[in-house]
Amino acid sequence: LPGVGYRLQSQLTDMGIETCEQLQAVSMETLKSKFGVKTGTLLYQHARGSDDKVLQSNKVRKSVSAEVNYGIRFKEANDMNKFIGQLSEEVEKRLREAGVQGRAVSLKLKVRQKDAPLNPTKFMGHGMCDNITKSVQLLAATSSAAAISRECCNLAAQLHLVPSDIRGVGIQVGRLEPRQGVQSCGSKTILDFLTDNRSSPGAGHPSAREGATPGEGGSTATAANDLRLPPQAVSLPAFSEIDPAVLESLPEDIRQEVLTMYRESRRNPPRTKEAVTNVTGTAVASTSGAKPKPPTGKRRGRPPKTTSPQKARGPACHSLREYMVKPAAALATAAEPSLSVISSKDKMEKVKMLLQEWICSRDGEISNTDVDAWTQLLGGVVQERNLEKLDLLLKFFYRTVQRSGSKKWEDTYMKVINVVQTEVLQAFGHFMKLQIF
């Protein structure tokens, strides 16, 4: 009968029941009291050929897997990783045929027992083995052989097994969902994700930190003497050029003075882009198409001084610049971030998945364009003033780089962190406590 296994059969034998005819002679009440309501009812009905369950011709698939338990003999870890890659391709093929993708990846291994012989009785068989299963939950569903192989290789490395003792390998993908309308997460880069977000509202917000500084009144200068700039527009370096470590080591009064100057420049940003000047005072042509308007009403800003602004504050700021600006090789200026980069948990998970794919797929040169785009995305979170979200992204970034074990990625991480810390310092006046290499 269906549902009667070894244990249930032993209990029926103890009752003197070995055939269906003998089982039919037992009342339903007796079977319920002995085996419970559900099992007793099923035994009573099945013995009489009755089954009211609905017949399902097409069962819902719960998982897709592939497993090989014969002829598995590895000499080193590279052999095992290569075989896992080939087995992942077979799993990908079955996933595509079924039209599904999964969020859970499981690695199943048969490992030779310690007292088992190296060569079992059956030629190239697995013999006496211990079964080991280890799983990982993905941030987004996938059917990519590369992603499945990478996760399984990481799981195998965490087990610290001897490759020559492995006798069977299996890969299972669970938590399935349909693939209709799902785009492969491995086909996009960090730059592609950021480009999509530029079409959202707020992506074209004008920058408050322009490379050129306009004049005070908004009028076009005709001569160098007619245009007076604030002192910091001439002598202060860009905030992203300041080394955070050097700034932190300055005396408290000097550090607060520097931060105050930058806060004032952020509270009173330039309103137009009609005219800019270089340090020598030469007027530069207008960058916008709008015609210059004559100044109306009372002039805003500091009143004109008889002494030159460069003479008043120039030498002190010049020495501060020489002391604080980082070496040219260490400069990393991020592009202006959009104001609404991440708006929901779903998008945040996509960013994490995309970041993981990006780091694990770059074994050689790292694209500076992608690095700038990732830095720009983090800068957008700073502009949202959401430090909790920024902390989660940077921690995930650190863990992913740490797992890669790449010195190039560690250097890239530190480069991004330096830029983000300057953004945080400029916005909040303090550094974040972050993990570093």
The CATH fold assigned to 188-205+336-437 is Methane Monooxygenase Hydroxylase; Chain G, domain 1 (1.20.58)
Pick from 121-130, 175-184, 229-238 the range whose average pLDDT is largest: 121-130
Check whether 286 has a pLDDT greater than 50: no
What pLDDT is attached to residue 61?
A: 84
pLDDT at site 430: 82
Q: Give mean pLDDT, residues 398-416.
A: 87
In the chain, the percentage of residues whose pLDDT exceeds 70 is 62
* pTM tops 0.85, yes or no: no
CB atoms within 10 A of CB 1: 13
Phi/psi at 373 (nearest 5 deg)?
-65, -40
Average pLDDT of span 144-160? 92
The Cα-based distances of 415 to 368, 372, 387, 418, 423 in angstroms read 11, 10, 19, 5, 13
How many angstroms separate the Cα of 436 from the Cα of each of 121, 242, 403, 414? Answer: 54, 19, 14, 7
- pLDDT of residue 262 exceeding 80, the answer is no
Phi, psi for residue 255 in degrees, rounded to 5: -60, -45
Task: Give the integer Cα–Cα distance in Å for 411 and 419.
Answer: 13
How does pLDDT run across 299-330, given as a tens digit for each residue? 555 555 554 444 444 443 333 334 334 433 33
CATH 3.30.1490.100 residue window(s) in the chain: 63-185
User: d(Cα 432, Cα 272) in Å, to the nearest integer?
Assistant: 33
Instruction: Name which of 281, 283, 271 is nearest 308 in CA terms.
Output: 281
64 in Cβ contact with 176 (< 8 Å): yes
Most confident range, picked from 86-100, 116-130, 176-190, 267-281: 86-100
Indicate the range of 8-22, 289-303, 310-324 predicted with least confidence.
310-324
Round to whole Å and give the CA distance between 347 and 323. Answer: 41
Do the Cβ atoms of 116 and 129 come closer than 8 Å?
A: yes
The pLDDT of residue 209 = 42
Cβ–Cβ under 8 Å, residues 133 and 107: yes
pLDDT attached to residue 304: 53
Q: What is the mean pLDDT of residues 62-81?
A: 91
Domain with CATH 1.20.58.1280 in the chain: 188-205+336-437
Tokens matching residue 379:
């800068």
349-372 pLDDT, tens digit per residue, is 777 887 887 787 765 678 888 888
Highest-pLDDT range among 134-143, 210-219, 261-270 = 134-143
Distance CA 135, CA 109 (A): 12
Burial class (CB in 10 A: 0-12, 13-18, 19+), 351: buried
The reported pLDDT for the residue numbered 246 is 66
Collect contacts of 425-428 with beta carbons under 8 A, ≥24 apart: 425/239, 425/244, 425/247, 425/259, 426/239, 426/262, 426/266, 427/382, 427/383, 427/385, 428/385, 428/387
Pick the residue with more confidence: 189 or 248? Answer: 248
- DSSP per position, 165-203: GEEEEEEEEEEEEE-TTPPPGGG--HHHHHHHHTTSTTT
What sign has the CA pseudo-torsion 299, 301, 306, 310? Answer: negative
Q: Please name which of 334, 326, 410, 408 lies closest in space to residue 378, comparing C-alpha atoms.
A: 334
How far is the C-alpha of 380 from the C-alpha of 370, rounded, in Å?
15
pLDDT at 333 over 50: no
pLDDT of residue 84: 94
Length in residues, the chain: 437
How does pLDDT run across 198-240, given as a tens digit for each residue? 444 444 444 434 444 444 444 444 433 433 444 444 445 666 5
CATH class of segment(s) 63-185: alpha beta
pLDDT at position 105:
94
